[in-house]
Structure 1
Amino acid sequence: MTIQAVVFDIGNVLIEWQPERFFDSVIGTDRRRAMFAAIDLHGMNDRVDSGENFHEVLARTADENPEWRNEINIWQDRWLDLASPAIDHSVRLMAALQGRGIPVFSLTNFGIQTYDIAAAKYPFLRQFDHDFISGHMGVIKPEPAIYEMLESQSGVAPEALLFTDDRTDNIFAATARGWQTHLFEHPQGWADRLVSEGLLTPEEAA
């Protein structure tokens, strides 16, 4: 079926998201490893992405782990440094698709408060034709319900959606629903896929 809309994940597709790399640069690799072993920080982040309040979740986590309070405060106070930098080629691809009149949706695991913080720095986050943000939806990828919600709210048939994400579990879940998918490894590979689908010319995808 002809592709009717293109769906972008955000973390590591449009914006780099590498907390371990960031904390390596701030507190050193050894202490970072100890911190991530002591606290389920990715689980903490999933709670935020599921709709819990960012500041409240981090405050509770700091209270539960007082020996790591300073580092958890860094996660909160310097959150934009964790979600950085933008992947410029991917941002250009998003704009090029919209310039061709092709609807572009987000489908992202992102918190309510953190999305607002990020959008103040990255204006393109307010430029999707339709936003599907897990914090507002109350469910995160790869739960099947989040894909079903996008289908229902957008009115686009699963097989007419082309979705890119950097995580294989998220891709598998979309494929299981009949979506066309692309595992994002680097922006050039995504650009090549968009060209091969006839959505962009090589010049537009550069």
Structure 2
Amino acid sequence: MSVIEAVVFDIGNVLVEWNPRHLYRKVFTDEARMEAFLADICTMEWHVEHDRGVSFESNAAPLKERHPEHAELIDLWGDRQLEMNAGPVPGTAALLSKLKQRGVPVHGLTNMPSPVFPALCERFPELCLLEKVVVSGDEGVIKPDPRIFEILIERAALDPRATLYIDDSQRNVDAAVALGFRSHHFRDADGLALDLVRLGLA
């Protein structure tokens, strides 16, 4: 089996905690009403178009036409989307930093709207340690589509067989494995740390 020569991190819920509830708990006083809003109106199926590169304005317009009584709450998604990122995932930044110190190339591959990643880099300096970062909103294609992995392979000159891919989504992990990557299905930093030791990276 190939020696690991590079590591690729997903960002949301691997390096930075992301959940729209971090924002909407600030404006809803009733948890059940918030959950209904996120299940029926601002759904993940709706949001994924932002990750695909569709602007918030164009994606929100038909939604607000269908739900005019919730227009202000819908607009919060675009106006205050950075508040959906609560903080660093405990422990992962330290592992990223140690890999960097050992001279292991570290890259990023994320489903994320285009404007969000630069803002997150200002807030979470550890993201600046990533060398090549492919953001779905910039490319118009989202994981688990193989095309976005292939973009990173080309830009970072990766050999998937010698690259560890880390993601909290099993679908994305499966897509990486299908392309030849070694993989880690992320649950917490302790589990990742054990896998890095097993692979000779720590």
TM-score normalised to structure 1 length: 0.88
Deviation (angstroms), 1:123: 2.1
Kindly indicate whether residue 169 of structure 2 is the aligned counterpart of residue 158 of structure 1. Answer: no
Sequence identity (%): 35
Is the CA contact (8 Å cut-off) linking 2:144 and 2:171 kept in structure 1?
Answer: yes
Cα 1:21–1:83 change in 2 (3 A) is: closer
Matches of 1:142 and 1:8, distance apart in 2: 14
Amino acid at match of 1:18: N
Q: Which residue of 2 aligns with 1:90?
A: 92
Q: 1:115 pairs with 114, 117, 141, which one?
A: 117
2:71 match: 69
Quick check: 2:23–2:84 contact (8 Å CA) kept in 1?
Answer: yes
Q: Could you list the runs of 5+ residues in structure 2 that have no partner in the other structure? A: none
Gaps of 5+ in 1: 201-206
Matched, 1:190 2:192: yes
Q: Which residue of 2 aligns with 1:145?
A: 147
Q: Distance in 2 between matches of 1:56 and 1:91?
A: 35
Residue in structure 2 matched with residue 12 of structure 1 by the alignment: 13
Q: 1:176 aligns with which of 175, 178, 193?
A: 178
- Whether 1:36 and 2:41 are equivalent positions in the alignment is no
Q: How far off its partner does 1:51 sit?
A: 1.4
Q: CA deviation at 1:7?
A: 0.5
Deviation digits for residues 88-131 of structure 1, max 9, x if unmatched?
A: 41011111101111000001001111222222211222331111
TM-score by length of structure 2 reads 0.90
Between Structure 1 and Structure 2, the one with more strand by share is 2
1:7 aligned counterpart, secondary structure: strand
How far off its partner does 1:21 sit? 5.4
Query: In structure 1, how many angstroms separate the alpha carbons of the residues matched to 2:67 and 2:192?
Result: 40
Pairs aligned (count): 200
Match of 1:204 in 2: none
Please report how far the alpha carbon of residue 60 of structure 1 lies from its aligned counterpart in structure 2 after TM superposition.
5.1
Q: CA deviation at 1:136?
A: 1.3
Q: In 2 relative to 1, CA 63–33 (structure 1 residues): closer, same or farther, beyond 3 Å?
A: same
Contact 2:22–2:85 (Cα < 8 Å) also in 1: no
Summarize the Cα distance change of 1:136–1:71 in structure 2 as closer, same or farther, 3 Å threshold.
Answer: same
Worse-superposed segment, 142-151 or 57-66: 57-66
